[in-house]
Each structure stands twice: as C-alpha cells, then as structure tokens.
C-alpha cells in the first residue's frame, strides 16, 4: 500500500509550502451562469434625463442573490493554508458567509463584466420588457447592463421573437 502522507511537508521552506497550498486551490472560478430575476431591473423615478424626459433603467446584479458557491477545503487545513486561501479570495472577489448552521460558505456574486445572465424561456418576456410590468410605454434609457446574456434555443425558435431579438440583444 502506498503512503499518502508526506510527513516532511512542514520542513519544506515556507515559500514552497505556500506555492503548494496555492496549487491546491481551484484553478477556474468564472465566468459563471446566473439565472435572470425580474427584480434585477429597477426604473428610477427620480433619475429623469433632462434632455429627453426618459427615466433611467438600471440593472442591479446584487438582487440576483444566488451566489456561486465554491469548495475550498484547504481553508481549514492550518493557519498557513488559510492565509493563502484568504489572499486568493481577495484576488477572486470571493466572500465568506456564515450559513444558518454556523458553517462557512465561500461564494462569489454576479460580476456583469465576467459572468453570464441566463434568461429561461419562462422569464423571456420579463427580460424583454426589462421587468417594467405596469409602467410599459414609459420611455427609459439603460444605464447598466450585463455584458453577456444566454437564452435557450426555445426562445430563438419562437416566431414572435425573430423581429425583436436583434434589438433586445443589442
């Protein structure tokens, strides 16, 4: 039977141990896929553009509140590994949250420049109307949007969407 424990690890130089801990961390944390929610769009009634009278429609990624969770097992290995993991968390934009059981959860929120917003066929109409609901027809300008959007093939196959897809995707 092969030995699975390297008893001399603690005698390695600190720099080498830290490199090994760093290599034990996940290699790839994004882009990630987040599901669209209607609440992410907000029409600000107090932000009228004076020249046009349009209101500002803003995309708030914080309202997605479905963070990507990561398993980072070395965090609990020892003090040195925890320090390496914390440095990596800062670089990656990863937060530490505590769940209802007191356990640490490592998560990353939606990043509009890196992540992808997925619109399910059931939510396509909400996305297309930007969640306007009762105030449809009110002129608005978009002040922020996700850079990457994904939709299912079902959305593209709907005949009603053929004419509006280029505008919506723009």
> 50-88 pLDDT, tens per residue?
777 677 777 777 777 677 788 888 898 899 999 999 999
Are 80 and 123 contained in the same domain? no
Residue range of the domain that includes 53: 30-64+111-170
Residue 19 lies in a domain: no
Structurally, the chain folds into a number of domains equal to 2
Measure the CA–CA gap between 91 and 166, rounded to whole angstroms: 36
Residues 6 or more apart whose Cβ sits within 8 Å of residue 43 = 55, 56, 57, 130, 132, 135, 138, 140
pLDDT tens by residue, 93-137: 888 888 888 888 888 888 888 888 887 777 776 666 654 544 555
Are 116 and 167 contained in the same domain? yes
Residue 151 lies in a domain: yes
Are 102 and 78 contained in the same domain? yes
Are 101 and 154 contained in the same domain? no
Measure the CA–CA gap between 60 and 94, rounded to whole angstroms: 18
> What does pLDDT average to over the chain?
77
User: In sequence order, what are the beta bridge partners of 150?
Assistant: 118
**For residue 90, with 0-12 CB atoms within 10 Å meaning exposed, 13-18 middle and 19 or more buried, which class applies?**
exposed
Are 57 and 119 contained in the same domain? yes
Residue 43 lies in a domain: yes
What is the separation, in whole angstroms, between the first and last Cα of the chain?
Answer: 60
Are 122 and 91 contained in the same domain? no
Are 96 and 59 contained in the same domain? no
User: In sequence order, what are the beta bridge partners of 118?
Assistant: 35, 150
Q: E strand or H helix at 5, and its extent?
A: none
């Amino acid at each position: 039977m092969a030995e699975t424990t390297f008893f001399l690890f603690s005698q390695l130089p600190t720099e080498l141990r830290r490199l090994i801990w760093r290599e034990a961390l996940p290699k790839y944390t994004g882009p990630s896929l987040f599901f669209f929610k209607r609440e992410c769009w907000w029409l600000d009634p107090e932000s009228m553009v004076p020249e046009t009278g349009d209101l500002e429609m803003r995309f708030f990624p914080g309202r997605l509140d479905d963070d990507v969770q990561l398993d980072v097992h070395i965090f609990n290995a020892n003090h040195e590994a925890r320090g390496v993991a914390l440095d990596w968390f800062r670089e990656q934009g990863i937060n530490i949250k505590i769940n209802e059981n007191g356990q640490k959860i490592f998560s990353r929120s939606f990043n509009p420049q890196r992540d992808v917003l997925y619109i399910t066929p059931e939510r396509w109409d909400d996305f297309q109307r930007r969640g306007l609901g009762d105030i449809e027809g009110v002129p608005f300008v978009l002040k922020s949007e996700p850079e990457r959007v994904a939709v299912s093939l079902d959305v593209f196959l709907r005949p009603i969407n053929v004419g509006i897809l280029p505008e919506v995707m723009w």
